[in-house]
């Protein structure tokens, strides 16, 4: 309970602050998300009300999933995860002695900047077999906020959400992965929908839009100011 209430609250609220900054600075993505929400919750549009929690949790909106995943990717709420080597091992050709702490960072090559080649012979057999489980970002736009990177076209030509579209380690992996992952996704889904449904987040002046961060329990934005306007409904949605 302590972990859920303390770690979950701090990390989710921090992630939301980065999300609001990115939505404000990417007006096209914000407007597209609002349009998808209006289409998905058409009855709420007709009744001029917010979607209910039940409607939000039962809905399938690929672009909403893509926005949330892109918020998590770009927020870098934690700089990385740490793993402790319990035995001597080899990682990409490098000997790792037992007792070594290994830091896996959530930014850098293949996340926000171009990756670098790794000789295949340096990879373990299990690494080679899992090479194609996750995709890789286009180095030309990997540093941008772009929810579309998480969408793929199915056989019917519809956009579907692909959580394995690229490298992503916001919650860690394996038996030591974050046990609050499902709660975090649920909280983000509800809050993002209600915020974007009810408010337009306008761009702030450059002097109030720094992306500088400070490391506390999580990686928090030094500046998170918002300019709000009441969001309306699209014409012709009734």
- For residue 159, what are the β-bridge partners? 153
List, for residues 59-117, the tens digit of each pLDDT value: 999 999 999 999 999 998 888 788 899 999 988 888 999 999 998 887 878 788 888 88
**Residue 10: predicted pLDDT:** 81
Query: Which residues 6+ apart lie within 8 Å of 54 measured at CB?
Result: none
**Residue 157: predicted pLDDT:** 83
**Residue 40: predicted pLDDT:** 96
* Helix ranges (DSSP H) in the chain: 2, 8-25, 27-40, 42-46, 53-58, 62-75, 125-129, 181-198
Instruction: Point out the residues of the chain with pLDDT beneath 70.
Output: 2-7, 234-238
Q: What is the pTM of this model?
A: 0.87
**Residue 237: predicted pLDDT:** 36
**Residue 4: predicted pLDDT:** 64
**Residue 3: predicted pLDDT:** 67
Contact by Cβ (8 Å): 150, 167: no
Contact by Cβ (8 Å): 62, 39: no
Enumerate domains of the chain plus CATH numbers.
2-230 (1.10.630.10)
């Amino acid at each position: 309970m302590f972990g859920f209430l303390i770690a979950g609250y701090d990390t989710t609220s921090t992630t939301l602050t980065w999300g609001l900054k990115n939505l404000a600075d990417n007006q096209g993505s914000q407007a597209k998300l609002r349009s998808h929400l209006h289409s998905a919750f058409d009855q709420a549009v007709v009744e001029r009300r917010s979607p209910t929690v039940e409607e939000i949790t039962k809905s399938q909106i690929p672009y909403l999933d893509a926005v949330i995943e892109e918020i998590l990717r770009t927020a870098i709420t934690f700089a990385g995860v740490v793993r402790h080597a319990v035995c001597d091992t080899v990682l990409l050709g490098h000997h790792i002695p037992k007792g070594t702490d290994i830091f896996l960072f959530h930014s850098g090559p293949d996340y926000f900047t171009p990756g670098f080649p790794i000789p295949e012979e340096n990879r373990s057999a299990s690494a080679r077999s899992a090479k194609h489980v996750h995709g890789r970002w286009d180095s030309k736009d990997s540093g941008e906020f772009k929810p579309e990177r998480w969408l793929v076209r199915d056989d019917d030509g519809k956009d579907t959400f692909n959580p394995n579209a690229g490298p992503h380690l916001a919650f860690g992996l394996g038996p030591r992965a974050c046990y609050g992952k499902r709660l975090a996704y649920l909280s983000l889904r509800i809050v993002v929908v209600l915020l974007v449904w009810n408010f337009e987040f306008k761009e702030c002046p450059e002097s109030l839009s720094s992306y500088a961060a400070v490391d506390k329990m999580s990686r928090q934005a030094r500046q998170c100011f918002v300019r709000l306007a009441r969001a309306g409904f699209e014409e012709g949605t009734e």
